[in-house]
Amino acid sequence: MRRLLAGLAVLGVLGLGVFWIVTMPKTRDMAPFAGMTGDAAKGEQVFWASGCASCHAAPGAKDDAMLVLAGGERFASPFGTFLAPNVSTDPTHGIGGWTLEQFVHAVQDGVSPAGAHYFPAMPYTAYSKMEPQDVVDLKAFMDGLPASATPNLPHEVGFPFNIRRSLGGWKFLFAGGGYQITGDLTPEVERGRYIAESLAHCGECHTPRNPLGGLTTSRWLGGSTLPGSTSKVPNITPAVLDWSPEDIFAYLTTGFTPEFDVVGGPMAHVVENMARLPESDVRAVVAYLKSVPAVP
Fill in the DSSP letter of residue 77: E
Mean pLDDT of 32-58: 97
CATH of domain 187-291: 1.10.760
Amino acid found at 215:
L
Planar angle of CA 103, 104, 108, nearest 5 degrees: 120
DSSP category for residue 85: P
The per-residue pLDDT for range 62-118, each reduced to its tens digit, is 999 999 999 999 999 999 999 999 999 999 999 999 999 999 999 999 999 999 999
Q: What 3-state DSSP class applies to 224?
A: strand
- Conformation bin of residue 80: beta by default, left when phi > 0, alpha when psi is -120 to 50: left
The whole-angstrom separation of Cα 49 and Cα 55 is 13
Q: For residue range 185-200, list pLDDT tens digits in order.
A: 999 999 999 999 999 9
Q: Which residues contact 105 (CB under 8 A, 6 or more apart)?
A: 27, 28, 111, 112, 113
pTM of the model: 0.92
Question: HEC states along 102-160?
Answer: HHHHHHHHCECCCCCECCCCCCHHHHCCCCHHHHHHHHHHHCCCCCCCCCCCCCECCCC
d(CA 55, CA 38): 23
Segments making up each domain of the chain, as ranges? 36-174, 187-291
Residue-wise pLDDT tens digits, 238-260: 999 999 999 999 999 999 999 98
- Residue 231: what pLDDT? 81
| Least confident window among 161-170, 178-187, 226-235, 279-288 | 226-235
Find the length of the chain.
Answer: 296
Question: Cα–Cα–Cα angle for 247, 249, 252, nearest 5°?
Answer: 110
Encode pLDDT of 152-176 as tens digits: 999 999 999 999 999 999 999 999 8
Mean pLDDT (whole number) for 204-224: 95
Which of 139, 147, 221, 140 has the alpha carbon at shortest distance from 180? Answer: 221
* DSSP per-residue string spanning 26-76: ----SGGGTT----HHHHHHHHHHTTHHHHHSPTT--GGGGG------EEE
